[in-house]
Structure 1
């Protein structure tokens, strides 16, 4: 069967006028031909060197070998990327970004401001073959409908990391964490928002105290949110004097907290990459006795995605690259802790026995919780508009 892409794309405006690329009637084979020999500019957060190495190494080499596509990875903070697209939109300028690593409130901002091209996922053979399009984590991104405007890239889940020698019984609830902090004053802390990992830690504590169900369809009303999370804010007030530097200051980034844990300054660190502990152990950064733990009520997980800008100069190349990312071989390579450790997005029921064996062969490494444990204790993210409200309320209440 020949796949027909029902899409129409305008590259952008140049002095001689708009250059149009009509994909309405193009088959996938024609899209592959259009993409061959081109350059794809992939923009996204570059704060993890292992991720940068995987994209510049494995993924870039694969795209060149299979499709003669030059993949140019451009590390940049997502707010800068969105500002760049907004500026191009206002100036009606030729696009410079072909693909974006995006999710959560940033996807909400981009989509509501018409900065993304789509829907496009139905045009991808591997999306149709390997992805469960009825999965809530495919249909929604932080509670906001994806509607085919972004393709799954990977999955993440919040975990806490501790040293088994120092902490044989790690805390698995907010009550136990408070008791642990009181036993070891000054040796527990977390990054303050807007750090992404610190922000999700705060939301996880909120879930543990007041539950998560009420937030899933909650209106983005500050008074409503403030009242809902009030018990959790009282908890953070009680926890504060037992934190590092008595909670008068917090690490600015998760990288700073990782260094503090590695140096033995604090007893626990946290991650939204469930395989990070294995990476840090193998690189000699974390103690070999480090391990992961989650709260017994579960921890927050989400998916991260790839979007295509409204003015992508190389739509065909972007589609081919995203489609290749949704292969078992690429997802398994990304899953390898030594490469990245990012959880795969493919539906296991849609994999052949041979393809399942590719994932079974991945060695998770030391300190990593099995994927089935994580997925069985996975909680949904709050809707994107609530995230900045929760961060602001925490900062106003706790930082003063």
Structure 2
């Protein structure tokens, strides 16, 4: 998904997209034929670079964010062309259409398909990997992965609870934040105890999207984690075959807390807005004093959709976050070029550019970077709504695994919404 805030969605469902939008690649004359994959020693990076020369590589994913499309076409693509003679073709499609296309080609036995690499995560990654639709493992071939990414990080090892096993390279991180108008609210609640008091003081002016909407599920996860603690909550991130009883044993105190909030929420918790868009509209109209989402609302402030006095905050106990990934199709016709493109995306230069231009949280381990690169990240000027990168990463809680999400939502419905 080529989303503006790198926002991962609960259960691995990519955000809605402008299905079928395709960025035209520059015309080229007589591109050189790539050696057959079997003839390339992918462990030899010089051989990979040589094989990739002159190739056009397709990157499939959500194309609904113009700012990100513009960054890919004006920053990443020119760098790939200039440095490696690789032409990047961005193909914007709904993830379900992408997977239909990939599975159709694989089941038809197409040896060289139309898709090289994909922005993918969660359940979509799991099903593709289980069906042998992905090529790999490949991350060990990438110099920038080996140099700058912590391979033992849980957010690298797992994608919504599914072991990545080198079949995905992380692209960017997203993390929940809460937003408020600093002219109306002088002291935002940064603990779950303070949040409950805040709801009491602003009775009827606080709510959240009904879990099932990925923002709603993420927000209750933040509150549950604040009640039971980060370490306890993160037990949910490694559950691959959870039972309702096992999940309930972990989250019961958090569900009790959420139920206790209900009398102070909008409509006294008798109903909840259906989605995050509805909550956003209610907040913008002044009906609510709090909103939440993956990332800071800096773009909304800059475009005048929210007041300049908008600020962001996170809980001292942390907020949940996830990672987005890139994977290579099993029948990708340009595997070497795909490796080169993915390696460039996770270079310090491109990760810094994503942070500067799109506010995306870097997947790089800052401690592995040279001091000058670490300083470059620290020196990025932030908008008034943005929280410094080091503060976000220090208060980051891994999201529950994909199989846990529907159980958590069911428990919320039974014990909180219908209580």
Considering the TM-score relative to the shorter chain, is it more than 0.5? yes
Deviations for 1:186-218, whole angstroms, at most 9, x for unmatched residues?
Answer: 322223343322221122222222331542444
User: Who is 2:19 aligned against?
Assistant: none
> Match for residue 261 of structure 1?
283
TM-score scaled by length of structure 1: 0.84
Partner of 2:347: 327
Count of matched residue positions in the alignment of Structure 1 and Structure 2:
378
2:236 to 196, 204, 215: 215
Provide the rounded CA distance (Å) in 2 between the counterparts of 1:344 and 1:307.
Answer: 18
Secondary structure, aligned partner of 2:358: coil
User: Where do residues 111-260 of structure 1 align in structure 2 (5 Å cutoff)?
Assistant: 111-211=129-229, 212-218=233-239, 219-240=241-262, 242-247=264-269, 250-260=272-282
Shift of 1:126: 1.6
Judge conservation of contact 2:204–2:264 (CA < 8 Å) in 1.
yes
Kept in 2: contact 1:158–1:272 (CA 8 A): yes
Spell out, residue by residue over 1:131-179, the C-alpha distance to the aligned partner (whole angstroms, 9 max, x if none): 2223332223333322211112112221111111111111223343333
Aligned Cα root-mean-square deviation (Å): 2.7
Distance 1:180 1:49, change over 3 A: farther
For residue 74 of structure 1, give the secondary structure of its aligned residue in structure 2: strand
SS of residue paired to 1:41: strand
Q: Alpha-carbon deviation of 1:340?
A: 1.0
Measure the CA separation in 2 of the matches of 1:20 and 1:69.
Answer: 17
Aligned mate of 1:352, from 347, 370, 375 = 370
Unaligned runs of 5+ in 1: 1-18
2:116 is the counterpart of 1:95: no
1:285 alignment partner, SS class: coil
CA contact (8 A) 2:234 2:397 kept: no
Q: State the 4+ residue runs in structure 1 displaced beyond 6 angstroms.
A: none
Once residues 90 and 220 of structure 1 are traced to their aligned partners in structure 2, the CA distance between those partners, rounded to angstroms, is 31
CA deviation map 1:50-74 (0-9, x unaligned): 3333223322232233334332323
- Cα separation, partners in 2 of 1:351 and 1:40, compared to 1, 3 Å: same
Matched, 1:373 2:395: no
Distance 1:293 1:396 in 2: 30
Tell me the CA shift for residue 344 of structure 1. Answer: 1.3
> C-alpha displacement at 1:242, in angstroms?
4.0
1:225 Cα deviation (Å)? Answer: 2.1
Q: For residues 394 and 74 of structure 1, do their structure 2 counterparts lie closer, same or farther at Cα, with a shift above 3 Å needed?
A: farther
User: Contact 1:335–1:342 (CA<8 Å) still a contact in 2?
Assistant: yes
**Residues 318 and 395 in structure 2, CA contact (< 8 A), matched pair in contact too:** yes
Q: Is the 8 A contact 1:108 1:384 kept in 2?
A: no
- Shift of residue 251, structure 1, vs aligned partner: 4.1
In structure 2, the gaps of 5 or more residues are: 1-34
Write the deviation string for residues 64-115 of structure 1: whole angstroms up to 9, x where unpaired. Answer: 3333433232333434433433333333235222112123333333323322
Cα distance in structure 2, aligned partners of 1:176 and 1:217: 30
Change in 2 beyond 3 A, CA 1:37/1:282: same
